[in-house]
Amino acid sequence: MKKITIPTNKIRETVRQYGTPFHIYDENIIKDRLNNLLTAFDWVDFKEYFAIKANPNPHILKIMQSSQCGVDAATVSEIKLAETAGFSGQDIMFTSNLTTLEAYRYAIERNCIINIDWAADIYQLFENDLIPETICFRLNPGSVKNEIMGDSKESKFGSTAEQIKEAVAFLAKRGITELGLHTMVVSNESEPTIFGDYTTMIFEFAREIKAEYGVEFSFINIGGGIGIPYRPEQVIDLPAIAAAVKNSYQTVFTNSELQPKIFMESGRYITGESGYLISKIIKAKTTYKKYLGLDASMSDLMRPAMYRSYHHLTNLDARAREETTAETYDVIGSLCENNDKFAIDRKLLHSQVNDLIVIHDTGAHGHAMGFNYNGMLRNAEFLYTTTGEVKQIRRAEDFADYTNTILGGY
């Protein structure tokens, strides 16, 4: 059984005051995971750039800012969110793709680190006299496979080693001899060996660039991708992952002039376990299977529908009733899409209408991926703070929010 870290009475009080569904995050877990990451990589000059896409609420970003983290932004809107939370300059890494000149201009004018996805963009930037203070290139090694991200040869992200070499040669001729290097090739990964293997690859590439062009990488961003234990039996051994990276770092850079800083852009690992989607059973239906229908839907949590991902479920009321009988259910939402399912053939304690269901591990890529299909309104977010207070950090949308961008009479 997975533990719910937020006191049940706090959840029930929030339900009584605001209704369901809603997302709630445990600030204690966020700070604990941040501390774990910083401790695991204390053997090197290290900085975490939290991936805004995981949880873009500025109240969450301010926790990162107070912990001396940077942020990784994929769009201009995410840069603006970072700025509202107090980030600026080199504490923002702009990692976008299909980047327009206007987006580059916005980020460069704010002195963000510019992480270039398509290496050829550097020529356009110089043609337009847009010279970033800090330039980084995203490497696609074409040699890594991961369950979520797939085969890196099929990935739309990054540039090949040869394309980056051409861009480095271009910059070296113009007197730029210090750069950054980045790769992001795994997602929700738990195997330490994989982290060791791909970081060895990118470290060796950095050493090769130094030897061929005399250009140094002052930092190497090894991406994020550290998983969380969605299933109760899973274990994420962060010290072992960090040790694998340390071994590759020391192996490649021993007796080398290069001693780059290490950056990461973890998102899921920092906030994923902190979050819970609180929902209520509104309908129990039996046809060929037993269904539990929730007032939440995939518009609140897309991962199970998109990836058939596992999220643990707890029935708070069945547990309070001390139910002992387990039954097999499909747990579903109300969208007019058959993949709107939180769980398929899941064994749960005997459940009934009005029971509160807690969906675990929704603090990353949960509310952030929400949408309005079928006119579903995006729901509220709350933060359970380190002082034991439940603080509302986003109100629920209403119908006026849904329609306020529509123009003309109707």
Please say whether the beta carbons of 134 and 92 come within 8 A: no
* Alpha carbons 344 and 330: distance in angstroms, whole number: 4
* Alpha carbons 143 and 202: distance in angstroms, whole number: 11
Q: What is the reported pLDDT for 408?
A: 79
Neighbours of 181 (CB within 10 A): 24
Pairing, β 178-182 against β 135-138: parallel
Please say whether the beta carbons of 67 and 283 come within 8 A: no
The catalytic site residues sit at 336
Element at 397 (helix H, strand E): none
| Residue located via tokens 């369950």 | 147
Neighbours of 10 (CB within 10 A): 16
Q: What is the reported pLDDT for 365?
A: 97
Burial class (CB in 10 A: 0-12, 13-18, 19+), 158: buried
* Alpha carbons 343 and 100: distance in angstroms, whole number: 40
Q: What is the reported pLDDT for 224?
A: 93
Q: What is the reported pLDDT for 148?
A: 44
| Residue located via tokens 């290069």 | 258
* Alpha carbons 318 and 330: distance in angstroms, whole number: 17
* Alpha carbons 246 and 242: distance in angstroms, whole number: 6
For the chain, which domains are there?
A: 8-24+273-403 (2.40.37.10), 27-271 (3.20.20.10)
Q: Which parts of the chain have pLDDT scores under 70?
A: 143-152, 409-410
Rounded to the nearest angstrom, the gap between the alpha carbon of residue 332 and the centroid of all alpha carbons in its chain is 24
